[in-house]
Amino acid sequence: MTLVIYVFSGLFFLLALALVFTWWRGRHPGALLLALTYFCAAGTALVMQHWWPLVIGFLSAWALRLMGMDPGPGAGKSPKS
């Protein structure tokens, strides 16, 4: 079970890095919130060696996406005048 926690925490860290890069390119605040959620979930799971922080982090990120915080495909583009 420890190996599974390490693998999923690593995936969550990669997601967080990709979202920080997305935030840096487009300055969408939702990308930064999602990155922070994934990063905190992965760090907590590694420190505590339990699987439930990953589940809570995934559900929190899903809730943020349902609230419209997902940057989406056109997040970095400026609207045309």
The vertex-46 CA angle with 66 and 64, nearest 5°, equals 10
Q: pLDDT tens across 5-61, in order? A: 999 999 999 999 999 999 999 989 999 999 999 999 999 999 999 999 999 999 999
What residue ranges do the domains of the chain occupy? 2-66
pTM summary value: 0.86
Q: In Å, how far from its chain's centre is CA 1?
A: 22
pLDDT value of residue 13: 98
